Amino acid sequence: MSGIYIHIPFCKQACHYCDFHFSTSLKKKTELVEALCRELVLRKDEIKGTIETIYFGGGTPSLLTREELDQIFKTIFEHYTVAEPVEVTLEANPDDLTEEKIKQLSDSSINRLSIGIQSFFEEDLKLMNRAHNAAEAEECLTLATRYFDNISLDLIYGIPGLSNKRWQQNIEKALSFGIPHISSYALTVEPKTALDSFIKKGIVPPIDEELAEQHFHTLIDTLTRKGFVHYELSNFGKEGYFSKNNTAYWQGKPYLGIGPSAHSFDGTTRSWNLRNNSLYIKSIEKNELPSETETLTKADRYNEYVMTGLRTMWGVSVNRVEKEFGVKYKEYLLKQVQKYLEEHLLYLDGDSLLVTKKGKFLSDGISSDLFFLNL
């Protein structure tokens, strides 16, 4: 099983917290779509086997026109073996989702929408500089549910000024649309973002980590009560609606990343395209791949497995660690986890190492302590 990720590096405006690669000038959109198609052709032999997921991320993929999407699909279907059915996700922002646009998307090969709602409250959206307003957040969901059954929405918690009460209201509002999948992330302050500078200047209060942790637990309690499975730290889905794309990624399956800044993985080698639209286009026009490559060491692969495994409900299989990485790694893992088992932050269920409810908010910190260094 393999997947294709396509990065659409354009946004209408820059959200204050974002450090992804995008440009707010759409001037090169046509040229970039040409280059994406050319990269798809150049790299068609890199992926062995059938494509089971296609994911348009960004940036803002809902800025693509119907013609641009058709051009990309035509290239994929001509040059790759695509599974039937294939999961095709498009990330979309509420301000792009008019009824006409949603209808167009539903008439294309897209069968899953991931909508960047983030909050249903005006003050949060303004603080984060999102391009949509609260009314658009609600309207687009009412419309999207008429045309799509497989919808995910994103919510952000830990926003300065977001009280527990308003956070609970955000979750309840999201649930009221009957959406089968919710992804939710803590607001993080990335270096050199506008949010980072506002906090340093005292314009925006710093993130209250304790409050963010309370939001996280409210989220888990509310969604699991409503029948969602907490299958990955930031992801909740009803049975049958887990993201196939993300699950494949967490399970270490190969994927091809197309577009500026996109990452690829073939099972042992990771590569990434440069983060610059003009240079990307120029390079692809010369049939040169604008990417760097690194071969993962055994320790890198073990560290990635531990980090992603602990984030999921499937956990880290101790037997798999021994089989794939050797007895030395297994012994190291069991030694390192000891204190977390005693502190009830981790537990063993048969062969699987899992985080407890108490450990969930700390899981990234715990996994870095289990990493194998200096090999």
Smallest gap, in angstroms, from Cβ of residue 93 to ligand SF4?
6
Judged by beta carbon, residue 86 or residue 117, the one nearer ligand SF4 is 117
Minimum Å gap between C-beta 306 and ligand SF4 is 28
187 vs 321 by CB, closer to ligand SF4: 187
Query: C-beta of 99: minimal distance to ligand SF4 in Å?
Result: 21
Show the CA angle centred on residue 113, arms to residues 193 and 227, nearest 5°. Answer: 100
CB of 13 to ligand SF4, least distance (A): 7
User: Which residue, 58 or 290, has its beta carbon nearer to ligand SF4?
Assistant: 58
Nearest of 77, 20, 38, 7 to residue 255 by alpha carbon: 7
Residue 187 CB, nearest distance to ligand SF4 (Å)?
A: 11
Nearest CB to ligand SF4, comparing residues 20 and 314: 20
In whole angstroms, the minimum distance from the beta carbon of 278 to ligand SF4 comes to: 19
Q: What is the dihedral of CA 287, 290, 295, 296, to 10 degrees?
A: -130
Q: Indicate the residue type of 241.
A: Y
Complex with ligand SF4: residue 71 or 129, whichever CB lies closer: 129
Q: Which residues bind ligand SF4 (CB under 6 A)?
A: 11, 14-15, 18, 20, 22, 58-60, 93, 116
Smaller CB separation from ligand SF4, 86 or 125: 125
**Rounded distance between C-alpha atoms, residue 170 and residue 167, angstroms:** 5
Which of 291, 300, 284 is CA-nearest to residue 264? 291
